[in-house]
Amino acid sequence: MWYPQNKQELENVLDKYFKQKSNLKKNPKKINGLIVPHAGYEYSGAVAGKAFSLLKNKKIKKAVIIGPSHYVYLNDAITTNTPFKTPLGSIKLFNKNFLEADILTEHSIGNQIPFLQKLNFKEILPIMIGQITNEQAKEIAKKISKIKAVYIFSTDLSHFQEYNKAVQSDTQTINIIENLDIENLGNLDACGLYPLLVLFHLCKIKKTKPHLIEYKNSGDITGDKSGVVGYASFWF
């Protein structure tokens, strides 16, 4: 399981993540959205939690969640009309003319929902992104930019490299993301490559850019540094 399946246990874990102190000197006044990881909570939940905690006082309680497709090949962006269910209940869906299919098993989306539920978000538009073109990414960014919502982009960073190599690779990826360096997209080592392509275009529309909140990898958590997965969170 990606997170605790007992309601009280899940709430306790989320409370713990939200109480963490952020390394940010001060909380940003305006947040369009977040980039967060999607591994099991014991690995990346704390990194994601520091980002979600910035939304505690956000008045908008509607979110667009954009995650990569891990289990199904597609070259489009799809949503669902079947609600995701967690131990905290189900959450209302809305759609803005995206194709619909069964995406309930996609953990890059599902793992974000308990954080949003704990923050009393009322509606979500979950979007699973396949291997899209740059033009498709532009169109998706334009479409979602018109929605009054918080944007949650989901990605992990490098996978199964030795610790020091992973840190080097992830540092490069973080720099590409923070600088919206679309020319170096091919050097970006992240499973959420295509959602991030949408993010790059969305940030240009919104006239903002990502700012790192925290970076860690699984080696920092488990102590096993032979083959790690990178996790980072940002606000934009």
- 58 in any annotated domain: yes
- 49 in any annotated domain: yes
pLDDT at 160: 95
Closest among 74, 81, 83, 125 to 100, alpha carbons compared: 81
- 18 in any annotated domain: no
> CATH number, domain at 198?
3.40.830.10
Q: Classify the C-alpha dihedral 93-71-211-133 as positive or negative.
A: negative
* 146 three-state secondary structure: coil
Residue percentage of the chain with pLDDT more than 90 = 94
- 1 in any annotated domain: no
pLDDT at 29: 84
- 60 in any annotated domain: yes
The whole domain housing 173 covers 33-235
- 145 in any annotated domain: yes
- 65 in any annotated domain: yes
pLDDT at 23: 82
pLDDT tier, 26 (very low <50, low <70, confident <90, very high otherwise): confident
Both tokens of 70, joined, read 């891990």
- 48 in any annotated domain: yes
Closest among 67, 72, 53 to 125, alpha carbons compared: 67
Determine phi and psi for 81, rounding to 5 degrees: -110, 10
Looking at the structure of the chain, the number of domains it has is 1
Q: What is the pLDDT of residues 90-136, one digit of tens each?
A: 999 999 889 999 999 999 999 999 999 999 999 999 999 999 999 99
pLDDT at 25 over 80: no
